[in-house]
């Protein structure tokens, strides 16, 4: 996250208010955030709105039917997380795996989900 210079794109079906407080404080200044989720929208949105207002962070949110968890940094690199980001290995260990050979097709897949997702916050 700290290497981002323009954008962080989180893909996590279980994005929620806890995610906002655990991760968004570490977003570098001037970096925009996109959150692609499929559940917990009612609890996520108030936290996103409040955090964006308090910190001047650009945060867009869309909803699509997704299952996996990824973080894409500046559309140049990405990782897959074995657990939802809000859990962050609280209950058991998890793997965070760098995307290498599959980076481009995986990013393209989730950009398509983003493009066709329901806009919750532009």
Tens-digit pLDDT profile for the chain (122 aa)? 999 999 999 999 998 898 999 899 999 999 999 999 998 899 999 999 999 999 999 999 999 999 999 999 999 999 998 777 776 656 667 788 999 999 999 999 999 999 999 999 99
Q: How far is CA 109 from CA 26, 52, 74, 113, in A?
A: 26, 27, 16, 7
Q: Are 57 and 51 in contact (CB under 8 A)?
A: yes
Give this prediction's pTM: 0.92
Q: Are 15 and 21 in contact (CB under 8 A)?
A: no
What pLDDT is recorded for position 90?
A: 63
For residues 28 and 5, what is the distance between their CA atoms, to the nearest angstrom?
7
């Amino acid at each position: 996250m700290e290497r981002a210079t323009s954008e962080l794109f989180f893909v996590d079906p279980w994005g929620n208010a806890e995610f906002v407080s655990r991760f968004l404080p570490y977003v570098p200044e001037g970096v925009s955030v996109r959150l692609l989720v499929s559940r917990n929208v009612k609890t996520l949105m108030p936290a996103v709105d409040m955090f964006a207002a308090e910190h001047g962070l650009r945060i867009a949110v869309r909803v699509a039917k997704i299952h996996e968890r990824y973080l894409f940094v500046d559309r140049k690199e990405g990782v897959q997380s074995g657990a939802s980001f809000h859990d962050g290995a609280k209950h058991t260990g998890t793997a965070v795996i760098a995307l290498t050979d599959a980076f481009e097709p995986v990013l393209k897949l989730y950009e398509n989900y983003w493009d066709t997702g329901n806009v919750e916050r532009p």
